Amino acid sequence: MSLCVVGSIAFDAVESPFGERERMLGGSAVHFSLAASFFTDVRVVGPVGEDFGEDEYAVLHGRAVNTDDIETISGGKTFFWRGRYEDNLNTAHTEDTQLGVFGDFEPKLSEASRSAETLFLANIQPDLQRRVNEQCEGARLVGLDSMNLWIDTARDSLVQTIDGVDLLFMNDAELRMLTGESNLLRAAREAMGMGPRAVIAKQGEYGAALFTPEGFFALPAYPLETVHDPTGAGDSFAGGFLGYLASQGEGAGEDEDVLRRAMAYGSTLASFNVEEFGTERVQRLTREEVDGRFDDFRNMTAFAAVPSA
């Protein structure tokens, strides 16, 4: 199944205890599409300025991501974000945000993108997400990510948009904020009541949790000795998750076993993403490495049944 992602394409400047980069490729649509490309054909939709050049396109084309629907705005500047992480890497401080062409983003989808069978609405304004979803009549599986900004400023629109998707990706604090429920299980059930069949709670270094009508599943984050840059980890997780689902064909989003494997593949891609800055590690990543770490994940989380008396 083909997959289309609509979201931000950016340049990031990041400082962490392990180093810094002044200008590197980033953005939700970029991190998502690179991760998803290990499993399926991906089309990326988003705006860039004239400062986005061949080197940046080469990163996407190196993973065979289709960039036909990246729109270059004449005279514009690509979205830019500068951030700094503290020692524990759980706290990010935004030091500069320049929306550039992203500030007036109005997604323009080709017929091929509108016909994609799987759609990911990355973190953008909820009205835009909903308009994109309404255009994509061929989508059989739709995932959505959002954040506290939209819960604060456009909650009614966000809830209306959530009603039209199958999978909701948020971190645990955002789910609690969205629903007003302090307990994560109750928050997830409340969120499922808004429309999606499954809710995925991203929990950073503690892993991720999957909530469906059939039950609950959780995985820890893959243990790493070195984490350089957590920027884009959540989008890489979503890319691995939805990319794997897309590769499994129609009905994958309703199969509990497939969803659980998708959780592991999402966590696997996120773990590679954070090992270096930006897209540096993912650019060198191979499918063999992905599958090897997936197997490690499976062995790490398996346990023996209690022997019969």
pTM: 0.95
233 burial via Cβ count (<10 Å: 0-12, 13-18, 19+): buried
Domains in the chain (CATH in brackets) are 3-8+29-70+109-301 (3.40.1190.20)
pLDDT of 307 higher than 90: no
Strand order in the sheet with 10-16: 19-26, 10-16, 79-85, 92-98
Instruction: List b or e across 140-157, with b for residues whose CB sees 16 or more CB atoms inside 10 angstroms.
Output: bbbbbbbbeebbeebeeb
Token reading at 240: 């691995």
**For residue 89, what pLDDT band results from cuts at 50, 70 and 90?**
confident
Instruction: Tell me what the mean pLDDT of segment 85-100 comes to.
Output: 86
Per-residue confidence at 206, pLDDT binned at 50, 70, 90? confident
pLDDT tens, 236-290? 999 999 999 999 988 888 889 999 999 999 999 999 999 999 999 999 999 999 9
Q: Give me the DSSP letters along 174-188.
A: HHHHHH--SSHHHHH
Residue 309 binned pLDDT confidence (cut-offs 50, 70, 90): low
Phi, psi values for residue 243, rounded to 5°: -60, -45
**In angstroms, rounded to a whole number, what is the distance separating the alpha carbons of residues 74 and 78?**
11
Instruction: For residues 224-239, give the mean pLDDT.
Output: 92
Is the alpha carbon torsion for 191, 234, 83, 51 positive or negative? negative
Lowest mean pLDDT among 13-17, 199-203, 251-255: 251-255
Lowest mean pLDDT: which of 50-54, 77-81, 146-150, 299-303? 299-303
Residue 93's pLDDT band (cuts 50, 70, 90): confident
Neighbours of 80 (CB within 10 A): 19
Mean pLDDT of the chain, nearest integer = 93
22 φ, ψ (degrees, to nearest 5): -90, -30
Please state whether 165 falls in left (phi above 0), alpha (psi between -120 and 50) or beta.
beta
What confidence tier does 122 reach under pLDDT thresholds 50, 70, 90? very high
**Statement: residue 141 has pLDDT above 80:** yes
Residue 20 CA: distances (Å) to CA of 13, 78, 83, 87, 274: 8, 20, 10, 13, 13
